[in-house]
Amino acid sequence: MDKAADVDEYLTRFDGDTRARLERLRATVTRIAPDAAESIAYDMPAYKLNGKPLVYYAGYAKHIGLYATPSGQEPFADELAGYKQGTGSVQFPLDRDMPWDLIERMIRYRADELS
């Protein structure tokens, strides 16, 4: 599959609940950090604030990946303990509700770090 040129094109690759979650994630990032520059990086939606990476996210067959860099996860380690994680990444399974409040706090934390 060709790389998406922008986030709108990226989102067209998904449907149903996965697309709705990705669109809500996009809306959450842009609401919290309206000055963030939106682009595609590493084949996923990416946001930079003040020229520095804010957050990335991506849709997969069984989860939504959120990449808030290591600093965006560390303060929320206890709340993220029930999710599969990597360095700077967390997977939110599609068969579970998204923890929107937690996600918003993680994005806000990163935005505050970069402001």
14-70 pLDDT, tens digit per residue, is 999 999 999 999 999 999 999 999 999 999 999 999 999 999 999 999 999 999 987
User: Does the residue 45 lie in any domain?
Assistant: yes
What's the total number of domains in the chain? 1
Q: Is the residue at 2 inside a domain?
A: no
Rounded to the nearest integer, the mean pLDDT of the chain is 96
- CATH at residue 93: 3.90.1150.200
Mean pLDDT of 78-105: 96
At residue 1, does pLDDT exceed 70?
no
Question: Per the domain annotation, does 1 fall within a domain?
Answer: no
CB contact at 8 A, 28 and 38:
no
Q: At what angle do helices 100-114 and 16-32 cross, to 10 degrees?
A: 40
Tell me the C-alpha distance between 49 and 60, whole Å: 25
65 CB-near residues (< 8 Å, 6+ apart):
44, 57, 58, 59, 89, 90, 91, 92
Closest to 83 (Cα-Cα) out of 94, 93, 70? 93
Structural domain of residue 82, as residue ranges? 7-114
